[in-house]
Amino acid sequence: MIAQTPQPPYYAVIFTALRTGINEGYEAAADLMVRLAAEQPGFLGVEHARDGLGITVSYWADEASIAAWKAQADHQLAQADGREKWYATFAIRVAKVERAYGFTSSP
């Protein structure tokens, strides 16, 4: 669902990926990574969608919390598996959210 993030500034990590055909271990690892990320200091939320292209946007308080999550041990193992097995290609963009707004329709 749409992440409930605080007022900017904060950070977004935009992970865009095309999968290989290899699914071994993927779903369990993806679920675990979402759970572990949510326990990290500075984690603000995550949004995900996939139809062919997969897009995961995670939100973080600052660059330090992004660096700590990148270095987290289980995440390091998943990153290695991702390159070896699950992803044909991916792009990661780290961006500072400067402004944000939203809309919810009247009932």
Binding site for a copy of itself (CB under 8 A): 1-3, 5, 8, 11-12, 14, 16-18, 20, 47-55, 57, 83, 87-105
Q: How far apart are CA 60 and CA 39, in angstroms?
A: 12
Rounded distance between C-alpha atoms, residue 82 and residue 86, angstroms: 5
CB of 79 to a copy of itself, least distance (A): 10
Distances (CA, A) of 81 to 54, 78, 90, 102, 104: 17, 5, 13, 36, 39
State the nearest-atom distance from the C-beta of 59 to a copy of itself, in Å: 8
Which is closer to a copy of itself, CB of 73 or CB of 104?
A: 104
| Tokens standing for residue 64 | 């330090």
C-beta of 53: minimal distance to a copy of itself in Å? 5
Report the residue number, 35 or 93, with the smaller CB distance to a copy of itself. 93
Which one, 69 or 87, has the nearer CB to a copy of itself? Answer: 87
- Please report, for residues 18, 20, 31, the alpha-carbon distance to residue 61 in angstroms, rounded to integers and kept in the order given: 27, 32, 22
Least distance in Å: CB of 20 to a copy of itself? 7
